[in-house]
Amino acid sequence: MNFELTEEHLAVRDAAREFAQNELLPGVIERDEKQQFPAEQVKKMGELGFMGMMVDPKYGGGGMDTISYVLAMEEISKIDASASVCMSVNNSLVCWGLEKFGTEEQKQKYLKPLASGEKIGAFCLSEPEAGSDATSQRTTAEDKGDYYLLNGTKNWITNGNSASIYLVIAQTDREKGHKGINCLIVEKGMEGFVVGKKEDKLGIRGSDTHSLMFTDVKVPKENRIGEDGFGFKFAMSTLNGGRIGIASQALGIASGAYELALAYSKERKAFGKPISQHQAIQFKLADMATEIEAARLLCLKAAHLKDQKKDFAKASAMAKLYASKVAMDVTVEAVQVHGGYGYVKEYHVERLMRDAKITQIYEGTSEIQKIVISRELLK
Ligand code: CAA
Ligand code: FAD
């Protein structure tokens, strides 16, 4: 067992850290306030190779491993979780799914511009009445021979408006249950596809979350991913990897808040000495650092298993379950360490606390992660 990162890993981490400090930090408070998508910053992330990190270079990606992805996600999430969720969806849901299961034509046409960051992708599984219970799809993809006729509504779609390529899960044959579900590649601009309202959220307010409406959208058959009926398996397999991205996002939110709390505790004086000299504050910092280290190890273990092509479904669910809890606990404590200053926007920790909550909800709530983990345990 080797806990050392390679020089390449450290270089990726440092590049992501530098980018986050120089490009994401300026304006992050304002973007949160105005619910402004970080379009320019995401474009630069594409230019630096952060939008298709694990994709084969022949499709325009960075050809990196999942460990590098975890390290970059942590650094970017320390500063701007709205930018990092865009990165996570593009890398681990959209690019990974297309590279693993797409045809060569689909990779040439769709994966290449997504991996290079020229275009942004979205992953569309959730519906108004199908969130955790993802097999209850109401959106239909009726088989019409050469094409599918797509009808229905998707909810809560990250990159909903900024994306131009959408992976849409829909029911083709209801009698076959989850085996009658397909995943179709839908392009923005296809007739009958409308981007709905933007959600006004508690956290990750810079991320553009929208509902999507499909009315008689004709999607060519060649845009189906995998065999007929593979859509649900596609979504589940893709989410196994996606959960490593969100676990790393939670890790970054926690470590970002911890670093701010540590620095502040050395500066702020109370009762004649820095608050870091009070044992109650020291114990908070010790708990935060320990929990973050444990979360980081779970993220890296899941990434390592994925890179070794071993089964990582349980490891990624554990990483997400634990890291998202750590993100909540650590950000609440970081606000506490800052006292009243923690409660105002200028000090960043209140935003990190608001951002942390979503990591316990999307890509499978914490309760769903426990279902995934316990099913694996009881197999
Ligand atoms: N990996 C691979 N395959 C899996 C799987 C996994 N983790 N979990 C289930 N499957 C397969 C099963 O093997 C089964 O196939 P077979 O019948 O061929 O064996 C099929 O999927 C159906 O599985 P279940 O019978 O277990 O299905 P279920 O109805 O009991 O639900 C569930 C299982 C785990 C709860 C699933 O519905 C689920 O993961 N729900 C959460 C949905 C979710 O995570 N949504 C996230 C949306 S994307 C998002 O949120 C992005 C973002 O915010 C940024
Ligand atoms: P529900 O499924 O209704 O759950 C409500 C509560 O019941 C939760 O606490 C849940 O854990 C619990 N619960 C449900 N079933 C069980 C059970 N069997 N056992 C125990 N407890 C249970 N989806 C996408 O497809 N693509 C995206 O890009 C995307 N981005 C998102 C961005 C944001 C900001 C948000 C808020 C959501 C996003 N989602 C996205 C949707 C997200 O994945 C769902 O919200 C999530 O899966 C939960 O579904 P739900 O909201 O319908 O809650």
ipTM associated with this complex: 0.98
Relative to the CA of 313, which ligand 1 atom is closest? 7
Show the ligand 2 pocket: residues with CB < 6 angstroms.
89, 123-126, 131-133, 156-158, 201, 204, 209, 358, 361-365, 367-368
Question: What confidence tens digit (pLDDT) does each residue in 213-244 have?
Answer: 999 999 999 999 999 999 999 999 999 999 99
Cβ–ligand 1 distance for 367 under 6 Å, the answer no
Q: Are strands 121-124 and 165-171 parallel, antiparallel or unpaired?
A: parallel
- pLDDT recorded at residue 223: 98
| Ligand 1, atom 51, residue with closest C-alpha | 363
Cβ–ligand 1 distance for 48 under 6 Å, the answer no
| Ligand 2, atom 39, residue with closest C-alpha | 156
| Ligand 2, atom 51, residue with closest C-alpha | 131
Q: Are strands 165-171 and 181-187 parallel, antiparallel or unpaired?
A: antiparallel
Question: What confidence tens digit (pLDDT) does each residue in 333-367 have?
Answer: 999 999 999 999 999 999 999 999 999 999 999 99
Relative to the CA of 242, which ligand 1 atom is closest? 51
Q: Which ligand is nearest to the CA of 204?
A: 2
Q: Are strands 147-158 and 165-171 parallel, antiparallel or unpaired?
A: unpaired
Give catalytic residue positions: 363
- Return the beta strands (E) in 108-200 as ranges: 121-124, 140-143, 147-158, 165-171, 181-187, 193-198
Residues 6+ apart with CB under 8 A from 66: 54, 241, 244, 302, 303, 304, 306, 307
Residue 1: pLDDT over 90 = no
At 246, the pLDDT band (50, 70, 90 cuts) reads very high
Determine the average pLDDT of the residues in 5-23.
98
At 95, the pLDDT band (50, 70, 90 cuts) reads very high
Cβ–ligand 1 distance for 240 under 6 Å, the answer yes
Q: Which two tokens stand for residue 228?
A: 């007929």
Instruction: For the chain, give the percent of residues with pLDDT over 90.
Output: 99
Cβ–ligand 1 distance for 363 under 6 Å, the answer yes
Q: How far, rounded to the nearest angstrom, does the alpha carbon of residue 211 sit from its chain's CA centroid? A: 18
- Ligand 1: centre distance to CA 368 (Å): 9
- pLDDT recorded at residue 158: 98
- pLDDT recorded at residue 307: 97
Amino acid at 113: P
Question: What confidence tens digit (pLDDT) does each residue in 62-87 have?
Answer: 999 999 999 999 999 999 999 999 99
At 109, the pLDDT band (50, 70, 90 cuts) reads very high
Taking CA atoms, 147 is separated from 98, 141, 172, 188, in Å, by 19, 9, 12, 17
Site to probe by mutation for ligand 1, drawn from 230, 236, 244, 359 as the one with most ligand atoms within 8 Å of Cβ, is 236
Site to probe by mutation for ligand 2, drawn from 86, 94, 361 as the one with most ligand atoms within 8 Å of Cβ, is 361
Site to probe by mutation for ligand 2, drawn from 32, 132, 363, 372 as the one with most ligand atoms within 8 Å of Cβ, is 132
Spatial CA neighbour of 364 closest among 132, 140, 162, 198: 132
- pLDDT recorded at residue 2: 83
Per-residue 3-state assignment (H helix, E strand, C coil) for 77-99: HHHCHHHHHHHHHHHHHHHHHHH
Confidence (pTM): 0.98
Determine the average pLDDT of the residues in 307-313.
97
Q: Which two tokens stand for residue 177?
A: 């249950």
Crossing angle for the helix pair 349-356 and 313-338, to the nearest 10 degrees: 150
Question: What confidence tens digit (pLDDT) does each residue in 162-221 have?
Answer: 999 999 999 999 999 999 999 999 999 999 999 999 999 999 999 999 999 999 999 999
- pLDDT recorded at residue 240: 96
- pLDDT recorded at residue 215: 98
Phi (first) and psi of residue 363, to 5 degrees: 55, 35
Spatial CA neighbour of 241 closest among 155, 185, 317, 134: 317
Relative to the CA of 317, which ligand 1 atom is closest? 7
- Ligand 2: centre distance to CA 362 (Å): 6
- Ligand 1: centre distance to CA 45 (Å): 30
- Cβ burial 85-121 (10 Å sphere, 16+ → b, else e): bbbbbbbbbbbbbbbebbeeebbebbbbbbbbbebbb
- pLDDT recorded at residue 168: 98
